[in-house]
């Protein structure tokens, strides 16, 4: 899994048949990372971003689910399967996963994987949070509303997204500024 193509194949094998909708989202997030990364990141970071993007939701694959918390399950599986530690850590911490870990009482487990908190993590968040469940382009506000309506107010993901909202919007705005978008 050291190249994008290898990571794509790994993700495809895990998700395409079992979770075709999730696979549509993941492919679009990967494609967005390939397009955005080189515009704002040095080559090694852009490469890591793209590989992490195509692998970021692999923890949803039925063959990989363990705790049911997909960033942690995905990261542990990738670690066992020899992925680069930086990729493992980016997947573990994608899109404010630490806040969902709090909701699930899995923060200590997630903290096994250090969060680099760089522009690369913001870029991964941006690619994920501006891509809808079918791979369509979304504004961050649409994406947040879509996630909330998909889970409903009683679900812990709803509580997580509500808590994470300011950080998620902040991460997206940071990347938009780097890309030269007008401030919103």
The residues of the shown chain that bind Fe ion, judged by CB under 5 A, are 57
In degrees, rounded to 5, the angle at the alpha carbon of residue 167 between the alpha carbons of residues 144 and 111 is 110
User: In terms of CB distance, is 156 or 184 closer to Fe ion?
Assistant: 156
* CA–centroid distance for 64 within its chain: 16
User: In terms of CB distance, is 57 or 122 closer to Fe ion?
Assistant: 57
Closest CB 52 distance from Fe ion, rounded Å: 11
Residue nearest to Fe ion (CB): 57
Contacts by residues 128-134 (CB-CB < 8 Å, ≥ 24 positions apart) = 128/29, 128/53, 128/56, 128/94, 128/95, 129/95, 129/168, 129/171, 129/172, 130/32, 130/172, 131/25, 131/28, 131/29, 131/32, 132/25, 133/21, 133/22, 133/24, 133/25, 134/21, 134/24, 134/25
Closest CB 71 distance from Fe ion, rounded Å: 6
The answer to whether the CB of 120 falls within 8 A of the CB of 33 is no
Closest CB 28 distance from Fe ion, rounded Å: 13
User: In terms of CB distance, is 47 or 57 closer to Fe ion?
Assistant: 57
User: In terms of CB distance, is 34 or 157 closer to Fe ion?
Assistant: 157
Closest CB 56 distance from Fe ion, rounded Å: 5
User: In terms of CB distance, is 20 or 44 closer to Fe ion?
Assistant: 20
Closest CB 39 distance from Fe ion, rounded Å: 23
Question: What one-character DSSP code corresponds to residue 131?
Answer: B
In degrees, rounded to 5, the angle at the alpha carbon of residue 96 between the alpha carbons of residues 178 and 174 is 15
């Amino acid at each position: 899994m050291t190249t994008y193509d290898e990571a794509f194949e790994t993700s495809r094998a895990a998700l395409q048949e079992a979770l075709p909708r999730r696979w549509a989202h993941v492919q679009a997030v990967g494609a967005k990372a390939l397009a955005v990364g080189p515009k704002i990141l040095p080559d090694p970071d852009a490469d890591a971003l793209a590989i992490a993007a195509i692998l970021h939701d692999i923890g949803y694959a039925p063959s990989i689910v363990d705790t049911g918390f997909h960033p942690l399950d995905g990261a542990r599986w990738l670690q066992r399967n020899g992925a680069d530690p930086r990729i493992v850590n980016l997947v573990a911490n994608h899109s404010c996963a630490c806040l969902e870990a709090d909701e699930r009482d899995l923060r200590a487990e997630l903290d096994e994987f250090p969060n680099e908190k760089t522009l690369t993590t913001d870029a991964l968040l941006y690619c994920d949070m501006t891509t809808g469940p079918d791979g369509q382009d979304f504004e961050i506000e649409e994406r947040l509303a879509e996630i909330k309506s998909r889970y409903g107010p009683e679900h812990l993901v709803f509580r997580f997204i509500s808590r994470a909202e300011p950080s998620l919007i902040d991460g997206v705005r940071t990347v938009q500024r780097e890309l030269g978008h007008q401030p919103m």
